[in-house]
A and B are shown apart, each in its own frame.
Chain A
């Protein structure tokens, strides 16, 4: 018998699908810019708590320095409690990222599973899941979020759940439509022939093949989840008061918008940059994953 190791070492030069996608994504300048910004934001989120202490730098009231315009000492100015807007804004990155990724992950896991079950089994399962999804999607997301936060109470984990649940319908729909086309492929029948249980077929055969559009939806969803979370925080349904969440910061600064616009400007700018970065990355991914554009 020939040695399997030799076969393993004759590994193909050809790129795997992920490698191919990365190769095409690299050529897209916009997407790479988006990716760079996202990486930068992630680094900021990781390192702010090392440089600045939450209790002394972020939330501590410092009345003598209140509402100062941007200066070398406070490049983004200070807010009505005398806190440095730059530091608070940078520190706020973590909330937006956690909510963006976390809420999208919640929506993705629930939505993909529901969509896969609906598409794969069809019949009564599909009817129940898809009609429930329709009803769910017909309620405005912000209202839905408010109701969930009201029921659960305002805190970061609850905000995550609220925003995540409103992201479910988008994933359910896209997954179901993908699964419908994959369900009738012969490799699904082949897996059944082998005796693979249905749930395993869904996880190992169906979902990996419906992943590309899900990735695209997910990357732009992170952006919209961030906006939605900021919106809820602005309305007072998000992260509780002293925490420097961007939406909450904008909300606090709206009384000073004429006299101290920097208090509103910088958190807003960061929201825009983050959402924009995720969206252009999402667009780039869509192009890179589209098999029609291959080569």
Chain B
């Protein structure tokens, strides 16, 4: 039925520090279907970027398996990895640090073409032509061909980053906060561009962000992460209409709605964030949770399907839905 492009199984990434082991990503599993977009949301430091970097092997996972079109990424080496990277690209968060300040726009976009020999026996002119095509695709003016990154504004720089990612004609693009460093008006332009590219080229996206409105606009499925774990996983519409995990509820209530007289009640999270260093085997959100109950210290909650395609990792929600299911 579904055509799975990327599958992640029990991904873990621990960082050893002097004070203990940081569980940056702790047992995360998910799949992404071809042509779809998966949004990963969560607060700063919840491990969403770490997941993304593991997917592209920019970080070595501590354990777990990642399959891209059935090939194990973690086991790939050398030329195999290079072939995989041709299909998987990344758009970075900060367009001010993702472009080498010493290279011209032409050189930046040409680098992936040359490195992967996208055009066989390419002359300089072939490359130039291809670079200009790519620049046109992402809406960059031709006159910027020989410019340096510092001469461009944030939106244009991000377009350069997108052109660079597109250069190898990937099937899968991971966007790590692609618009968080941009002005709101430019955010919309970049998002529309990405959406158009997805439509035209059938790209599969992973969209990592802390901006819920963006993810709502963009994603088919959404994963909510908290301290290295997935707390809720559901189709976008379902998640926004019927959030179940207390953390997701709090996140959604924080979205600002531009409406006069809007008196929406915000759920304010109090309490301290559990340290990701050697966390105890219990619910990691308990200390900030409004619905904390006696079950919360009974082991780490597992991600369980409470309604079709809607997964939640919360003891209380699972208990309630069980009672409902048992009662009904």
Contact = CB atoms under 8 A, between A and B. Distances in A.
Interface stretch (A27-35, A185-193, A244-252): A185-193
Given A187-B99, A190-B98, A195-B81, 4 more contacts: A187-B97, A192-B58, A193-B89, A196-B115
B161 A190 contact: yes
A64 interface: no
Given A194-B168, A195-B85, A189 B58 contact: yes
Contacts of A4: 125, 128-129, 132, 145
Contacts of A8: 128, 145-146
B92 A186 contact: yes
18 contacts: A1-B129, A2-B132, A4-B128, A7-B132, A10-B142, A10-B146, A14-B148, A14-B151, A17-B148, A185-B97, A186-B92, A186-B94, A190-B161, A193-B85, A193-B89, A193-B90, A195-B85, A209-B101
Nearest to B128: A4
Contact of B97 (A1, A2, A7, A186): A186
Contact of B151 (A12, A185, A186, A187): A12
Nearest to B81: A195
B13 to A, nearest CB: 15
B12 interface: no
Q: Which of B100, B128, B145, B165 has the most CB of A within 10 A?
A: B100
A98 B266 CA distance: 73
Given A194-B168, A209-B101, A189 B146 contact: no
Contacts of A196: 111, 115
B77 interface: no
Q: Which of B81, B97, B151 has the most CB of A within 10 A?
A: B97
A45 B109 CA distance: 45
A7 B142 contact: yes
Given A8-B146, A11-B146, A195 B86 contact: yes
B143 interface: yes
Nearest to A193: B90
B229 interface: no
Interface in B115-133: 115-116, 125, 128-129, 132-133
A140 interface: no
Contacts of B143: 7, 10
Contacts of B93: 186
A2 B135 CA distance: 12
Q: Shortest 10 CB-CB distances between A and B: which pairs? A: A186-B98, A7-B145, A4-B128, A194-B112, A195-B82, A186-B92, A187-B100, A195-B85, A208-B102, A186-B97
Contacts of A14: 147-148, 151
Interface in B239-269: none
A2 B141 CA distance: 11
A292 to B, nearest CB: 15
A195 B89 CA distance: 10
A189 B92 contact: yes
A209 B85 contact: no
Contacts of B128: 4, 7-8
A14 B104 CA distance: 13
A6 B85 contact: no
Interface in A139-183: none
A194 B97 CA distance: 16
Nearest to B57: A192
A7 B89 CA distance: 27
A16 interface: yes
Contacts of A208: 100, 102
B164 interface: yes
A205 interface: yes
Contacts of B145: 4, 7-8, 10
B97 A6 contact: no
B56 interface: yes
A187 B116 CA distance: 17
Q: Which of A1, A6, A195 has the most CB of B within 10 A?
A: A195
B142 A190 contact: no
Contacts of B165: 193
A1 B133 contact: yes
A8 B145 CA distance: 7
Contacts of A1: 129, 132-133
